[in-house]
């Protein structure tokens, strides 16, 4: 609760600090309202709040008209003006926050007398007190409810409060017409009174229109209201310290209360050098050159737009107004460099809201502007850095000395000329001041009719730093010589100031007129045509095509005065290819999104530049129908645009030709910047050619059954053969083609009576029926001659015969002959197969698991693994080696094998006794994996490999004597077998470089006598299969991998398990 003296304090602070923006002799004295922590307010939003949101958050206003406005006879006109301006601002600015609602505070007049009932505080003496926004008391519908009782604390009630259907908004704007602060010649003023507690964005403010404002014409009042709204939205010295960057981070440091420090002299927030900086300029005047200090905006978007507009890449900042006193200075652009911009310090006729103003709104960190809503500004356009950063005296002297006009400045009083932004007649105004003009701003050293002593008192407007220029003043009488002056400079007329675009269409000014960019669903010169929904072209009117379920004019042609699409016979279409290398000095890089919605700004800018080029041509300017981007490709950025013209000019009989289009579009400059964006192009690479409407992908209105033929400037459609043109009267040929069904009557075809007619688009074909052969002479025209066949005919598809010219008898003979040959081939194959199988059975047995030896199992592993019982069951069940009842004679072991001398058993292969080193009950000492195997000790000779004693050639500490490569190693004699079976070297009979003598297959092997059975092959027991185990351990089968060195099984100790290894 506030104290009873708070209202008085707030009103006193407002009278001292609240700064009305008023217009005194066309000068805006803007004094912002002081913002304190009490002005911060929480806004309730239905959605999660984000600092950066999508660009479609168009600004939503709630307008509250004060009774001081509604009581005036001009109330309806004021409401209309405010509604139009608010609508324009809403379409220009998007807010980086969701809309929401807040309530102004409601307190008791005498809070000490309040009582608390059920936790709610009620006022008992006097009534509730409602908060104020500047001078305006907030209405009950925008305030907290009032809880009030009588003086005795009885009859307590709740009154006021917001309506339940209140819609969320971004800004609450109060419009009033109070006279207390309106001094003489004040037109209007504005300020913000509440800011968001999270982003510091203004959420409520006031526009007060003084009585003199009601006397203005509608056009000038529109400009005034828009000027004041921009002040209330953030273009104010009280707001600069609250600006944020694009990510929502404050640009100026904050104190403990969440706000920047307050300047004790100006009562506004201090700002950082990320917003405004001080610069020093070299300033030329009548006494030489001196230094001048200025303050300028240095925010990124303002710099970008200003550099592009003035054509000054090195521009350090956009200068702020320093004249006009405290109420005008620092809250407007410097009028000298932006004399016609609406946000300079003087409100004059013929003003524009340029891209620079929208850029500053973006640099607040609160808004996203639509730059296409900006007006075209001609003041200072492409005049360079000298115009912006040097004095007007330097500009005037330099231009006059070079034989050029000093425009936009002037030197002769009463000289008539055209205003920079339109057709208004303007006059050079020199004023004589009571006191000398500051020396730094003195321009003239001599003027006809002026005494030299008085020259120091002569100058132009104070806010232009006393530089004289052509000003529009409808009360200023020109001299006699201006009566014949006609301002018809069509390049500077802003026709959009009086445009009639409807349904949200955006007006774009061009030379000799304007055009409207229509939103989706609308078309026409003024966006007044609603596109009809459709599914096919037949749902649309003449010259319309169904595109994206909407009836649109074909190939982007426009509608005439009768709301009908211009036909193809009324226009000529050409294409122009432009190569863009830079955009605002930044290298142009192609991206496929340029042809999507995100690339609208780029495409519209290029289209605007081409329109301006064509509109400046006296022959083509009134024949242009449309300019539209057809495609964008890489190679910097290559843009292909369609140029659509009427076939002849409206105001002369000249016929539009490609030669005239080429001449009109020849670029003299490689920088296009009339759209407000500087496009650097390769002028020499610009190409104009005829548009190929049949192949350029933009579509045409030819029927799918018609042939499109390109012509110079146009195209023609012709129905294909086999189709008929069924278009109604008045429709061009080839637009509606219907297929003719030749098969509907036999009179229209030449098919055989034994053939079926099959209709095709534009033609037909014939197909002989089943049981008939096609005897047609022309393979491209089947089904014309069909004859019955003795054998069933194979149905054939349309096309040439597989065997043209052969008689049926020949075909049958060939078929029988091929059958006989095939049968003989099968018999021959079976004979060969039987022979091969018989040969295989006569060959020696070869172990499939060991390709190196016919009867030795693998030797290269010593470990044994056991699989599961189920796996063994499955594998044994599929054993490919069944038990044999009779002994195999080829396993006769009566004769020793030559290479396996059985007379002298190998000591380490004694089969009579189990191998000690393979004792499975105890771990094998040489298989201890935790420790090195003793027989594998490479530092000492291997004991188990010592046949006669230690092998000296295995001593690894010293070089091996037998490894002398200069001389052959005696123990590596391959001519004799090595008796000690040195496994480190290959065995002589395992030499794979030479064929093994005992493997000679040309002669039978003597040791493989098959006549006598081999005694060591007991066939009463199953042969141990490779990789199998046999035993009676719980009647289960076990399986192990082939790991052994022998071809016979061994019995392990401790179990009845036999393993084949």
| Residue numbers annotated as active site | 228
pLDDT at 69 exceeding the cut of 90 = yes
- Mean of the pLDDT values across residues 848-875? 44
Q: What is the pLDDT of residues 515-542, one digit of tens each?
A: 787 887 888 778 888 888 888 877 888 7
Confidence of residue 45 (pLDDT cuts 50, 70, 90): low
- Copy the structure tokens of residue 290: 């001196």
- Copy the structure tokens of residue 969: 């190693």
Q: What is the pLDDT of residues 307-351, one digit of tens each?
A: 999 999 999 999 999 988 776 889 999 999 999 899 998 877 767
> Strands 288-297 and 40-41: what pairing?
unpaired
For residue 481, what pLDDT is reported?
35
What burial class does residue 471 get, using C-beta atoms within 10 Å of its C-beta: 0-12 exposed, 13-18 middle, 19+ buried? buried
For residue 601, what pLDDT is reported?
80
pLDDT at 1042 exceeding the cut of 70 = no
C-beta atoms surrounding 124 within 10 Å: 18
Q: Is the peptide bond before 408 cis (omega within 30 degrees of 0)?
A: yes
- Mean of the pLDDT values across residues 109-113? 78
**906/909 Cα distance (integer angstroms):** 5
- Kindly report the length of the chain: 1061
Q: Assess contact for 924 and 1053: CB atoms under 8 A.
A: no
Q: Assess contact for 415 and 427: CB atoms under 8 A.
A: yes
Q: Please indicate if the annotation marks 856 as binding a ligand.
A: no
Residue, of 633 and 415, whose pLDDT is higher: 633
Q: Is the peptide bond before 447 cis (omega within 30 degrees of 0)?
A: no
Q: What is the pLDDT of residues 867-908, one digit of tens each?
A: 444 444 444 444 444 444 555 555 565 665 656 566 666 665
What burial class does residue 978 get, using C-beta atoms within 10 Å of its C-beta: 0-12 exposed, 13-18 middle, 19+ buried? middle
Q: Which residue has the tokens 């009588």?
A: 150
**954/937 Cα distance (integer angstroms):** 11
- Mean of the pLDDT values across residues 834-842? 80
For residue 877, what pLDDT is reported?
47
Residue, of 767 and 660, whose pLDDT is higher: 767
Domains with residue ranges and CATH for the chain: 6-101+166-373 (3.90.132.10), 102-165 (no CATH), 405-481 (2.10.55.10), 571-691 (3.30.70.960), 743-805 (no CATH)
Q: Please indicate if the annotation marks 332 as binding a ligand.
A: yes
pLDDT at 477 exceeding the cut of 90 = no
User: For all residues of the chain together, what is the average pLDDT?
Assistant: 75
Confidence of residue 1058 (pLDDT cuts 50, 70, 90): very low
Among 36-40, 304-308, 775-779, which stretch is predicted with the lowest mean pLDDT? 36-40
Q: Please indicate if the annotation marks 227 as binding a ligand.
A: yes
pLDDT at 1048 exceeding the cut of 60 = no
Above pLDDT 90, what percent of the chain? 21
Q: Assess contact for 663 and 678: CB atoms under 8 A.
A: no
Q: Assess contact for 566 and 557: CB atoms under 8 A.
A: yes
Q: What are phi and psi of 452, to 5 degrees?
A: -55, -30
Among 124-128, 243-247, 352-356, 850-854, which stretch is predicted with the lowest mean pLDDT? 850-854
Selection from 638, 607, 85, 624 nearest residue 372 by Cα: 607
pLDDT at 1009 exceeding the cut of 90 = no
The dihedral over CA atoms of 589, 591, 596, 602, expressed in degrees to the nearest 10, equals: 0
- Mean of the pLDDT values across residues 176-201? 87
Q: What are phi and psi of 609, to 5 degrees?
A: -60, -40
For residue 309, what pLDDT is reported?
92
Confidence of residue 1038 (pLDDT cuts 50, 70, 90): very low
pLDDT at 13 exceeding the cut of 50 = no
* pTM of full prediction above 0.85: no
> Strands 61-65 and 171-176: what pairing?
parallel
- Copy the structure tokens of residue 535: 């599914």
**106/130 Cα distance (integer angstroms):** 5
Residue, of 499 and 944, whose pLDDT is higher: 499
pLDDT at 570 exceeding the cut of 70 = yes
Q: What is the pLDDT of residues 911-959, one digit of tens each?
A: 566 555 555 666 655 555 565 555 555 666 555 555 565 555 555 666 5
**314/385 Cα distance (integer angstroms):** 8
What burial class does residue 691 get, using C-beta atoms within 10 Å of its C-beta: 0-12 exposed, 13-18 middle, 19+ buried? buried
Q: What are phi and psi of 880, to 5 degrees?
A: -80, -5
What does R_g of the chain's alpha carbons equal in angstroms? 52
Contacts of 922 (CB under 8 A, 6+ apart): none
pLDDT at 389 exceeding the cut of 90 = yes
For residue 834, what pLDDT is reported?
85
pLDDT at 420 exceeding the cut of 90 = no
């Amino acid at each position: 609760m506030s104290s009873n003296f708070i209202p008085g304090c707030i009103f006193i602070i407002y009278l001292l600090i609240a700064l009305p923006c008023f217009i005194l002799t066309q000068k805006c004295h803007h004094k912002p309202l002081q913002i304190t922590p009490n002005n911060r307010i929480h806004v309730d939003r239905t959605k999660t709040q984000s600092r950066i949101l999508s660009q479609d958050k168009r600004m939503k206003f709630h307008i509250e008209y004060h009774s001081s406005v509604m009581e005036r006879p001009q109330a309806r006109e004021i409401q209309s003006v405010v509604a139009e301006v608010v609508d324009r601002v809403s379409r220009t600015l998007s807010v980086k926050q969701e809309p929401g609602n807040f309530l102004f505070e409601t307190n008791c007049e005498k809070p000490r007398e309040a009582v608390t009932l059920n936790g709610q505080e009620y006022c008992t003496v006097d009534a509730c007190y409602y908060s104020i926004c500047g001078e305006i008391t907030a209405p009950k519908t925008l305030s907290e409810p009032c809880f009030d009782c009588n003086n005795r604390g009885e009859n307590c009630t709740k009154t006021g409060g917001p309506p339940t259907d209140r819609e969320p908004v971004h800004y609450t704007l109060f419009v009033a017409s109070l006279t207390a602060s309106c001094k003489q010649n004040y037109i209007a003023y504005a300020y913000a009174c509440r800011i968001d507690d999270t982003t510091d964005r203004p959420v409520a403010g006031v526009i007060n229109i003084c009585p003199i404002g009601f006397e203005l014409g509608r056009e000038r009042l529109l400009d005034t209201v828009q000027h004041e709204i921009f002040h209330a939205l953030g273009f104010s010295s009280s707001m600069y310290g609250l600006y944020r960057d694009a990510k929502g981070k404050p640009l100026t440091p904050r104190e403990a209360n969440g706000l920047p420090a307050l300047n004790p002299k100006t009562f506004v927030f201090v700002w950082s050098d990320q917003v405004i900086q001080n610069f020093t300029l070299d300033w030329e005047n009548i006494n030489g050159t001196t230094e001048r200090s200025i303050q300028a905006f240095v925010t990124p978007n303002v710099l970008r737009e200003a550099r592009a507009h003035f054509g000054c890449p090195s521009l350090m900042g956009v200068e702020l107004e320093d004249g006009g006193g405290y109420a005008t200075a620092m809250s407007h652009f410097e009028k000298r460099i932006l004399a016609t911009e609406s946000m300079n310090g003087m409100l004059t006729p013929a003003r524009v809201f340029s891209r620079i103003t929208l850029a500053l709104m973006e640099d607040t960190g609160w808004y996203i502007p639509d730059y296409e809503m900006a007006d075209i500004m001609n003041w200072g356009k492409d005049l360079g850095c000298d115009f912006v950063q040097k004095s007007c005296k330097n500009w005037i002297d330099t231009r006059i000395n070079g034989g050029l006009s000093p425009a936009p400045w002037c030197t002769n009083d009463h000289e008539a000329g055209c205003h920079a932004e339109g057709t208004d007649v303007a006059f050079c105004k020199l004023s004589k001041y009571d006191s000398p003009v500051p020396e730094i701003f003195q321009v003239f050293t001599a003027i006809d009719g002026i005494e030299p002593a008085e020259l120091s008192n002569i100058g132009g407007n104070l806010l232009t730093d006393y530089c004289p220029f052509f000003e529009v003043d409808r009360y200023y009488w020109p001299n006699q010589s201006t009566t014949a002056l006609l301002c018809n400079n069509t390049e500077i007329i802003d026709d959009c100031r009086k445009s009639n675009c409807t349904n949200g269409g955006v007006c774009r000014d061009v030379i000799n007129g304007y055009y409207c960019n229509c939103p989706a669903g609308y078309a026409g010169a003024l966006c007044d045509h609603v596109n009809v929904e459709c599914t096919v072209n037949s749902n649309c009117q003449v010259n319309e095509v169904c595109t994206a379920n909407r009836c649109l004019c074909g190939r982007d042609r426009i509608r005439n005065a009768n709301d009908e699409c211009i036909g193809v016979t009324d226009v000529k279409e050409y294409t122009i290819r432009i190569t863009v290398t830079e955009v605002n000095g930044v290298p142009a890089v192609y991206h496929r999104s340029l042809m999507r919605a995100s690339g609208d700004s780029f495409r519209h800018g290029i289209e605007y530049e081409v329109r301006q080029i064509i509109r400046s041509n006296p022959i083509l300017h009134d024949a242009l129908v449309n300019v539209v981007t057809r495609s964008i490709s890489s190679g910097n950025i290559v843009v292909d645009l369609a140029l659509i013209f009427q076939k002849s000019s409206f105001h002369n009989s000249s016929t539009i030709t490609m030669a005239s289009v080429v001449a009109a579009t020849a670029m003299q400059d490689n920088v296009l910047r009339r759209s407000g964006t500087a496009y650097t192009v390769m002028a020499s690479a610009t190409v104009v050619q005829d548009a190929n409407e049949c192949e350029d992908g933009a579509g045409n209105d030819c029927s799918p059954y018609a042939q499109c033929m390109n012509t110079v400037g146009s195209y023609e459609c012709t129905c294909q053969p086999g189709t008929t043109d069924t278009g109604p009267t008045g429709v061009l040929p080839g637009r509606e083609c219907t297929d003719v069904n030749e098969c509907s009557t036999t009179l229209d075809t030449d098919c055989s009576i034994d053939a079926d007619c099959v209709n095709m688009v534009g033609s037909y074909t014939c197909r002989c029926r089943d049981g008939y052969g096609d005897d047609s002479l022309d393979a491209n025209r089947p089904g014309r001659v069909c004859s019955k066949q003795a054998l069933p005919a194979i149905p054939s598809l349309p096309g040439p015969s597989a065997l043209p010219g052969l008689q049926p008898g020949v075909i049958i003979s060939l078929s029988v002959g091929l059958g006989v040959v095939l049968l003989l081939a099968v018999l021959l194959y079976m004979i060969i197969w039987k022979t091969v199988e018989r040969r295989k059975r006569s060959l020696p047995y070869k172990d499939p698991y060991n390709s190196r030896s016919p009867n030795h199992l693998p030797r290269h592993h010593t470990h044994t693994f056991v699989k599961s019982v189920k796996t063994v069951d499955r594998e044994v069940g599929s054993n490919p080696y069944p038990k044999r009842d009779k002994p195999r004679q080829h396993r006769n072991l009566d004769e020793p094998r030559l290479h396996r001398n059985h007379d002298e058993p190998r000591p380490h292969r004694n089969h009579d006794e189990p191998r000690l080193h393979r004792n499975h009950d105890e771990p094998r000492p040489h298989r201890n994996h935790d420790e090195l195997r003793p027989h594998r000790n490479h530092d000492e000779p291997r004991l188990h490999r010592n046949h006669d004693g230690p092998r000296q050639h295995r001593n690894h500490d010293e070089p091996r004597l037998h490894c002398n490569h200069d001389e052959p190693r005696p123990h590596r004699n391959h001519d004799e077998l090595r008796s000690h079976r040195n496994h480190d070297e290959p065995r002589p009979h395992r030499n794979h470089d030479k064929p093994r003598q005992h493997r000679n297959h040309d002669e039978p092997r003597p040791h493989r006598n098959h006549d006598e059975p081999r005694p060591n092959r007991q066939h009463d027991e199953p042969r141990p299969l490779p990789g199998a185990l046999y035993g009676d351990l719980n009647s289960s089968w076990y399986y192990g991998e082939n790991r052994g060195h022998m071809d016979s099984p061994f019995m392990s100790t401790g179990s009845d398990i036999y393993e084949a290894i």
